[in-house]
Amino acid sequence: MAATHSSHPVDTTKQAWAGGLTVFAAVMLGLTGLVGIFRGIMAISEDEVFVATPNYVYKFDLTSWGWIHLVIGVIAVLVSFGLYRTSTWARVAGVAIAALLIVANFMSLPNYPAWSIIVIAMSVVVIWALCAVRREPQ
């Protein structure tokens, strides 16, 4: 009688894609977090680096935005390390942090528009990558 294998080539292909998407999301979230950290430090130390838009609905002090970006960036980098271990808490936290990054960058669009749009796009890709991975029951 021939031995049967419990895993099919299709299953290993799905696992490889799932692992690849998770690593991709970890790298993207880590990069986005690092940029948030640098952007936060810039806003805290030197307000003149950013453009000032006087008539924007969401007007906040640039130093406040600097602290917000710094804190979210540090959390994003920490969560990205958890994604390398493919833990469920890191996937959930990764989606939450990416969503916070989208909101924070949308609200700071007038201060640094080009980079805010890039970070929003990167965060959308992170959310997609983390939500596209499906765990099969064992």
Q: Give per-residue pLDDT as tens, 46-65.
A: 766 565 556 665 566 778 88
- Mean residue pLDDT across the chain: 79
Q: What are the phi and psi torsion angles at 31 (to 5°)?
A: -65, -45
Mean pLDDT calculated for residue range 73-96: 89
CA 33 – CA 80 distance, rounded (Å): 9
Instruction: Give the pLDDT band of residue 18 (cuts 50, 70, 90).
Output: low
Q: Give per-residue pLDDT as tens, 91-118.
A: 899 999 999 999 988 888 877 788 889 9
* Domain assignments of the chain as residue spans, ordered by start: 24-46+57-132
Q: Does position 88 have pLDDT exceeding 50, yes or no?
A: yes
Single-letter residue type at 129: A
Q: What angle (nearest 5°) sits at the alpha carbon of residue 117, between those of residues 124 and 83? A: 35
Residue that has been written with the tokens 């007007």 in this structure? 59
pTM, two decimals, is 0.75
CA 8 – CA 31 distance, rounded (Å): 35
CA 130 – CA 62 distance, rounded (Å): 31
